[in-house]
Chain A
């Protein structure tokens, strides 16, 4: 999932303090799972904003709404009839949702309510870690299901580097060395011979370096 973290409320207040009518717009997908932008967080932020304005002796309208997703036309259409009622929308979706909402409703300012961090997993409640950098050419088949692009600080294709010590990365003694994990797993799968094979130069043209990307699937286009 896309992992996001809450923005400091002070920052959000700074965005909207001059706006009279504000919609806090949540998303029911990834940001709900990582407890940054779902219905519950929408309620908390909206209440905090109301309390802030009340404490300032100001009257602002702060409404709440949570969509199934903010990255699909069909769900974003659900606010078309009400969007003109607001001077600002604070979107608690990931950066994708914020941008798609802004594209769709061009005359209403959209502000981000979370910091979008990475593609990752929930290791335990309150702990999310990165697993994928969406490089566009997956090599997990060769690396025993462990991604050196997202989990090795140097994104090495043939590791580990000299900084790997007792299975940990030189960046941080608590950070596992991705290549140590790969070797251990290849060994567990009885595939250690594969480690001897040199990985070819990776095709980075599908990565972000090639500019904004798109996937076109004519077979599903109507």
Chain B
């Protein structure tokens, strides 16, 4: 996970955009807690800049 985070950092994205949690299928509340945590982190960071770039690319292609 640290490796993936370091790659994200190298290419200009926030490493916090990816995370890994270990839990069993019987740990529903914990899963919900992790999901809320991740949701809060991602909302704080804002939309993935690559998606914006992708949209711009499609718009450019459509314009030409």
Contacts and interface: CB of A to CB of B under 8 A. Distances in A.
A54 B57 CA distance: 9
A59 B60 CA distance: 11
Nearest to B4: A44
B40 interface: no
Interface size grouping (class) on chain B: 10 to 19
A55 B49 contact: yes
Instruction: Describe A's contact surface by its main secondary structure.
Output: helix
Interface string A36-61: 00000000100011011011110100
A44 B7 contact: yes
B7 A55 contact: no
A53 to B, nearest CB: 9
Contacts of A9: 6-7, 10-11
A8 interface: yes
Contacts of A10: 10
Given A9-B7, A44-B7, A51 B57 contact: no
Interface in B1-40: 6-7, 10-13
Instruction: Describe B's contact surface by its main secondary structure.
Output: helix
A55 B10 contact: no
Given A9-B7, A48-B7, A57 B56 contact: yes
Interface residues of A, number: 14
Nearest to B7: A48
Nearest to A13: B10
A61 B9 CA distance: 21
A10 B7 CA distance: 9
Contacts of B7: 9, 44, 48
B56 A52 contact: no
B63 interface: no
A13 B10 CA distance: 9
Contact of B10 (A48, A54, A56, A59): A48
Interface of B: 6-7, 10-13, 49-50, 53-54, 56-57
Given A9-B11, A13-B10, 4 more contacts: A48-B7, A48-B10, A55-B13, A55-B50
Interface of A: 8-10, 13, 44, 48-49, 51-52, 54-57, 59
